[in-house]
């Protein structure tokens, strides 16, 4: 059996949301869901978000078109998108460590891009946690723990060293597939 693929994502990425909704069915092997801080990747690589450029409206329309094509509910953009995903990403890492990473991440993605809620607001992060039956006090404590903060830094640095420059990225062995439209290519690499 091939090594499990790794799905790198940041909860602030609408393209990662599109991938998250499809990845477990698209790949022949369920991937390891690995939250990373995209801002940390960009700090290393000099990258940045298309959402802060003149391509914003075109990019948003493309995400909406793909969501419709994939049969997802219509997107509702958070009013101030993009914002800092740091609180949400710390929560994702904490939830991953307690075995609830996928459930929390899907709930948080849906809060952001189906519900239009800003994930820089801790209360919105906690709504996603509650949807997974996680106690808000435990999640807040986990988000604030030194171990969680260090883990997020470490996995982001590891992703950067591996060559991840954006999200969503699926790693199949040494091969990286960047973009929600590359899931089928990743699936083929796993099957071939």
- Average pLDDT over the chain reads 96
Residue boundaries of the structural domains of the chain: 6-191
Confidence (pLDDT) at 3 = 84
Give CA angle at 26 (176, 171), nearest 5°: 15
Q: How confident is the model at residue 159 (pLDDT cuts 50, 70, 90)?
A: very high
Question: pTM (2 decimals)?
Answer: 0.96
Confidence (pLDDT) at 46 = 84
**What is d(CA 51, CA 58) in angstroms, rounded to the nearest whole number?**
9
CATH architecture type of domain 6-191: 3-Layer(aba) Sandwich (3.40)
Confidence (pLDDT) at 112 = 97
Q: How confident is the model at residue 45 (pLDDT cuts 50, 70, 90)?
A: confident
Confidence (pLDDT) at 65 = 98
Mean pLDDT in residue range 131-137 = 96
**What is d(CA 10, CA 166) in angstroms, rounded to the nearest whole number?**
9
**What is d(CA 103, CA 93) in angstroms, rounded to the nearest whole number?**
12
**What is d(CA 19, CA 181) in angstroms, rounded to the nearest whole number?**
8
CA torsion angle for 150, 156, 158, 162 (degrees, to 10)?
180
């Amino acid at each position: 059996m091939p090594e499990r693929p790794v799905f790198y994502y940041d909860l602030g990425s609408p393209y990662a949301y599109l991938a998250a909704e499809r990845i477990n069915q698209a790949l022949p092997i369920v991937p390891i869901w690995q939250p990373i801080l995209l801002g940390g990747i960009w700090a290393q690589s000099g990258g940045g978000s298309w959402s802060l450029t003149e391509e914003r409206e075109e990019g948003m329309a493309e995400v909406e078109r793909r969501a419709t094509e994939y049969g997802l509910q219509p997107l509702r953009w958070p009013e101030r998108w993009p914002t800092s995903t740091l609180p949400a990403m710390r929560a994702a890492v904490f939830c991953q460590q307690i075995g609830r990473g996928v459930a929390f991440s899907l709930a948080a993605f849906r809060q952001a891009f189906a519900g239009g809620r800003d994930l820089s607001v801790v209360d919105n992060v906690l709504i996603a946690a509650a949807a997974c039956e996680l106690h808000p006090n435990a999640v807040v404590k986990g988000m604030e723990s030194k171990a969680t903060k260090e883990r997020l830094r470490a996995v982001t640095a590891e992703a950067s060293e591996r060559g991840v420059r954006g999200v969503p990225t699926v790693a199949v062995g040494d091969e990286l597939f960047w973009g929600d439209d590359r899931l089928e290519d990743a699936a083929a690499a796993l099957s071939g």
